[in-house]
Amino acid sequence: MTDALETYLADNADRRFSSYLEFLRIPSISGQPEYAAACREAATWVAGQLGAMGVEHVEVAETGGHPVVYGDWLHAPDAPTVIVYGHYDVQPVDPIELWETAPFEPFLKGDRVIGRGSADDKGQIHIHLRATEAILATRGGLPVNLRFVFEGEEESSSIHLDAWLEANRERLTADLAVISDTGFFEGNRPAITIGLRGICYVQVDVATTAVDLHSGGFGGAVQNPANALAQMIAALKGPDGRIRVPGFYDDVVALTQADRAAFAALPYDEEAYRTALGLSALVGEAGYSTLERRGARPTLDVNGIWGGFQGDGGKTIIPAHAHAKISCRLVPDQEPRTIFELLRGYVLEVAPPGCSVEVHYLGGGRPSLTPIDHPATQAAARALEATFGVAPLYIRDGGSIPVCASFEKILGLPVVLLGFTPPDANAHAPNESMSLANHETAIRTVVAYWDELASLPR
Amino acid sequence: MTDALETYLADNADRRFSSYLEFLRIPSISGQPEYAAACREAATWVAGQLGAMGVEHVEVAETGGHPVVYGDWLHAPDAPTVIVYGHYDVQPVDPIELWETAPFEPFLKGDRVIGRGSADDKGQIHIHLRATEAILATRGGLPVNLRFVFEGEEESSSIHLDAWLEANRERLTADLAVISDTGFFEGNRPAITIGLRGICYVQVDVATTAVDLHSGGFGGAVQNPANALAQMIAALKGPDGRIRVPGFYDDVVALTQADRAAFAALPYDEEAYRTALGLSALVGEAGYSTLERRGARPTLDVNGIWGGFQGDGGKTIIPAHAHAKISCRLVPDQEPRTIFELLRGYVLEVAPPGCSVEVHYLGGGRPSLTPIDHPATQAAARALEATFGVAPLYIRDGGSIPVCASFEKILGLPVVLLGFTPPDANAHAPNESMSLANHETAIRTVVAYWDELASLPR
C-alpha cells in the first residue's frame, strides 16, 4: 500500500465506520414483500455512494423486482475490465428473539460488527465502495476498469438478475467477474472459494379439511397433515444420509482422487469444529468426510416446518394443514429445475392417502466450480497474501451463489470468488457478525488485487 | 313440560339468549397463562348466576389453578342427589384468521350460535343454569338434589380437579354424576355417550446448535432438527396405521363381537361423513371401521409442529430446533402415564444422532366406559326421547373427559354423559358453533331428566 492510501484510510476511519453502520441500518430483506421500499432505499444508498466517489453511469436499474445498482469507471485503456458483484439485500431476521440487539441497529462488540448484513453481503459491498473511493481519492484513477453490479435479490434466488444480464449483455463487456460473497476458512484463514453448491428450494403444502378438527372426535378417522408431512420428509433420506429421490444423484460428478486429496489436505480440525457448534456428533452422507459433505456433496434440509398449534400448553386438534420449506444444495452437474421435478414427483409418490399435497418451486441456482490456476485467481491469491500475511487456501463452499453460474453462462466470464467473512459470521442466523479487522484489511486486499490484475501480461 | 315452565321459558327467551352470549364473551382459555384472569371472571360469572337463582353454598373454590365453581340445592329429601359437571374454560382460538368473526364476540347465524365455547362447554353449563332457574322459579324447588361442580381446567387436562375432588370427598356425597360435555351423533341424532377415550399429551423438543445455521455452509455436516423430528414422528406409526411404540397396545381391551355389532348398527353414512369433511379418503388403523377407529381404538396425532422459517419466500437455514405437540387418544385399560413412558422411550430410541431430544408430559386422562343398562342412563334416554322426539343412540365418543374417570374412581359414582352439541360444532376449531334449537330443547331435557330421576324407585 502507498503511504497516501494508508493516510487517506486512517483519516477517514470514523467516516468509514459510520457509513458501514448506516448501510446496515436499512432493512433490505428481499424475501419479504413488506421490505420492498427498504430494498430500494438500500439500492439508492449504494448508488449515491458510487456517484459521490466519481464512479460514472451510476444507475438504479429496474429489473421487475428489486433494482440492480450499476456504475462503471472505464478510464484504464490498457488494463482489464472487471465486473464487481455483491448484493445489498439480506436474509429475514427471525427468530428475532435470539438477537442480542435489534438486527438493523448494528453495533461493535470487540472486533465484531453485529447486525443483519454485516457479513452477507452488505459488508462486502462496503469493502469495495471504500477501496474504490480510496484509490480514486488518492490516485485520481483506478488501475483497472470496473463495472459494479450490485443486486438486491440474491437472498430470494436472484429471480430477475439473469434477465437483466441478458438484456445488458452488450454493455457488460469485461474480462473477469469478481464476486465478493464468500468467506474465509475455519480459524479465519484467508481463502479463495473455487466451488459453490447450487440450490433448489421448494415448499410442500399438505391439506385436509377446511378447519382444524377435534383430535378426539375425529382422531383415527382422518389423515393428519402434520403426520403425513413428517412421513414424506422422513422418506426423502435414508439412515445412511443418502437422498432417496430416484434419479437425484444421476448428474452428480463424482469426486476424483485429486479432489478428495485436496479436501483431506485442508487444515481442518473436525473435533474443534464439532465442539464449537456444541454438537454431540457430526452427521451426513455415509462414505464422505465432513468437508466433502458440506462442500462437494448435495444435501436435503428442511428450512422450516409448521402446522397446527404452537402455543404453550396443549390444544387437541388435528391441524387442517401443514407445511415445510425444503431445499437441496446441488453440486455439478445437477440442474435446479430437474431436481425440482424429481423431488416433486417423489414427494407426491410417497404422500399418504387422505390429504392433498402440493410442491412449489421457490427458486434455484446452478452449482459452479472454477479453476485454481487461472491468472486472475492467482492474482487474488497474491493480493490476499500481501495484505493478510498468509497464502490463501482454496476451498469449495457449501453455499450457493447462483449468479456465479450466470456470469459464466450469460456473459462468458471467468469468475473469482473473493470474499472476506469469518467462518463464524452467523450468516442467515441471529447475531450475524463481521470481523472489523477482516473488513479493514479486505479494503487493502481489493486495492492490491486491482494492482495485481493491472500488472498481468495482457 | 308444565305450562308454567314453558311460559317462564318463553317470557325469558331474550334474557336467556343475552346471558348465553354474555358468558361466551369471557375469553376463559385455560391453557394460556395470559387468560388466567378471564378464567376467574368466568367462574365468578357462573357463581353469580347460581346464587341469583337460589342455589346455595355457592363458592368459587380455589384449586391452585383456575377455580372450581361449587353450589348445591339439597331440599329434596327422598330424591337422589346428582353432581352436575361442566367446564367453563375453553380451547385456544388460533388459527384466529380462520374465524368468521372474533371468537369471543359470539353471534347468531341461522340456528347456530358461533363463538368459542358456544358448544364446548359453556353452552352446556348455560343449559343447566337456565333449566335449574326455570324449575326453581316456577315450582319453588327441584325434584332432585343437585350439586354443581363446574371446573375451569378441562381443556388443560383438569390438572387440579382430582386433588379438589379428593379434598372434598366428604361433602360431595351423591348418587350419580351427570357430565354435560358430549354431543349428538351424525345428522344431529340425540345420543348418550357410553364411552370416552383417554389422552396422553406430550411435547417433543429437538435441538442442535445455539442458533440457526446457514444451510449452505453447514448443510451435509450437521443434523437438521426438523428432518430429525420428521423422522421420529414417521417412525411412530406404520403404513397400516398401527402405532409402533412397543407395548402401546398391551393394555387395550379388545372389542367384543357385541361391541363391533353395536358400532355396525349405528345409522352412519361413511360416504356422507367423508364428503362433508371434504376428504378424498378416510384413513386409519387397518382392520377397524371408521366408527371403531374414532370411538374405540387408540390414536397418535401431531397437534402442532414447528421449527425454522415460516414466512413468505425462502430462508436458507438449518433450524437450531424443532418441536411437536403429539397426543394419543387412549382406550380402556390404557393408562396415560404408562403410555407416556412407552412413547418417550421409543422417541428417544428412534432419535437420530447429532441432536438432543426431550419428551415432556403435558397432561393426560384415563379412558372410560359406562353401562347402557344403568337406570340413570335409561332415565336420560327417556328424557331425551320425550323432548327431542326420538330415542337416543348409544355411542362411544373419541374425545376425552378425564374427569369422567375421576368421578368414577374418586367419588365412586356412576356417570351419565348427557350432552347436546351437534356433531359439526367445530369444537376446538375455528367457528365453533352450537345449534340454538339443541340448546333450547336441552333445557327441557334437563328438566325432564330430573323428573325422571325423581320418579325412579329408591
User: What pLDDT shows up at residue B247?
Assistant: 98
Predicted confidence band of residue B409 (pLDDT cuts 50, 70, 90): confident
Q: Show the beta-strand stretches assigned E in B102-232.
A: 107-109, 112-114, 145-151, 176-179, 191-196, 198-207, 213-214
Residue B273 has pLDDT above 80, yes or no: yes
Give the CA angle between residues A391, A394, A400 to the nearest 5°: 135
Mutate to test the interface with A, among B204, B303, B328 (most CBs of A within 10 A): B303
Note whether B245 and B343 are within 8 A (CB): yes
Residues 78-137 on B with a CB inside 8 Å of A are: 91-92, 94-95, 98
- B357 contacts in chain A (CB < 8 Å): none
Q: Which ranges of A140-214 does DSSP label H, i.e. alpha helix? A: 161-167
Residue B402 has pLDDT above 80, yes or no: no
User: What pLDDT shows up at residue A1?
Assistant: 58
Residue B313 has pLDDT above 70, yes or no: yes
Average pLDDT, chain B: 95
Minimal-distance CA residue of chain B relative to A427: B214
Q: How far is CA B27 from CA B32, B91, B439, in A?
A: 11, 10, 21
Contact A429 B212 (CB under 8 A): yes
Contact B226 A324 (CB under 8 A): yes
User: What pLDDT shows up at residue B314?
Assistant: 87
User: What pLDDT shows up at residue A2?
Assistant: 72
- B304 contacts in chain A (CB < 8 Å): 226, 307-311, 315, 317, 319
pLDDT above 90 covers a percentage of chain A that reads: 87
Lowest mean pLDDT among A279-283, A367-371, B157-161: A367-371
User: What pLDDT shows up at residue B95?
Assistant: 85
Sequential DSSP letters for B117-130: TSSTTHHHHHHHHH
**Interface membership of A219 toward B (CB under 8 Å):** yes
Mutate to test the interface with B, among A325, A340, A361, A404 (most CBs of B within 10 A): A325
How does pLDDT run across A331-369, given as a tens digit for each residue? Answer: 999 999 999 999 999 999 999 999 999 999 999 988 988
In this prediction, residues B82-103 reach a mean pLDDT of: 94
- B322 contacts in chain A (CB < 8 Å): 302, 305
Mutate to test the interface with A, among B35, B181, B213, B302 (most CBs of A within 10 A): B302
Instruction: Calculate how close chain A gets to B30, using CA atoms only, in Å.
Output: 9
Amino acid at A230: A
User: What pLDDT shows up at residue A285?
Assistant: 98
Instruction: Calculate how close chain A gets to B270, using CA atoms only, in Å.
Output: 10
User: What pLDDT shows up at residue A76?
Assistant: 97
Report the C-alpha gap between B88 and B52 in whole angstroms.
Answer: 18
Contact A400 B216 (CB under 8 A): yes
Contact A297 B220 (CB under 8 A): yes
* Phi and psi torsions of B339, nearest 5°: -65, -40
Residue B363 has pLDDT above 80, yes or no: yes
Per DSSP bridges, beta strands B198-207 and B321-330 are: antiparallel
Burial of A171 (0-12, 13-18, 19+ CB in 10 A): exposed
Residue B1 has pLDDT above 70, yes or no: no
Minimal-distance CA residue of chain A relative to B428: A214
How does pLDDT run across A132-183, given as a tens digit for each residue? Answer: 999 999 999 999 999 999 999 999 888 899 999 999 999 999 999 999 999 9
How does pLDDT run across A48-92, given as a tens digit for each residue? Answer: 999 999 999 999 999 999 999 999 999 999 999 999 999 999 999
**Interface membership of B314 toward A (CB under 8 Å):** yes
Per DSSP bridges, beta strands A213-214 and A107-109 are: unpaired
Mutate to test the interface with A, among B87, B218, B252, B299 (most CBs of A within 10 A): B218
In this prediction, residues B285-294 reach a mean pLDDT of: 96
Amino acid at A332: P
Residue A24 has pLDDT above 90, yes or no: yes
Report the C-alpha gap between B90 and A211 in whole angstroms.
Answer: 17
Contact A302 B294 (CB under 8 A): no
- Cell numbers linked to A227: 403426520
How does pLDDT run across B411-454, given as a tens digit for each residue? Answer: 999 999 999 999 999 998 899 999 999 999 999 999 999 999 99
pLDDT above 70 covers a percentage of chain B that reads: 100
Report the C-alpha gap between B232 and B202 in whole angstroms.
Answer: 14
Residue A47 has pLDDT above 80, yes or no: yes
Burial of A159 (0-12, 13-18, 19+ CB in 10 A): middle
State whether ipTM is beyond 0.90. no
Q: Look up residue A351 and give its DSSP letter.
A: P
Note whether A153 and A401 are within 8 A (CB): no
Polymer length of chain B: 458
Q: Where do the domains of chain B lie, and which CATH numbers do they carry?
A: 3-196+368-454 (3.40.630.10), 198-252+298-365 (3.30.70.360)
Predicted confidence band of residue A410 (pLDDT cuts 50, 70, 90): very high
Average pLDDT, chain A: 95
Predicted confidence band of residue B157 (pLDDT cuts 50, 70, 90): confident
Peptide bond into B181 cis (omega under 30): no
CB atoms closer than 10 angstroms to residue B278: 12
Report the C-alpha gap between B260 and B256 in whole angstroms.
Answer: 6
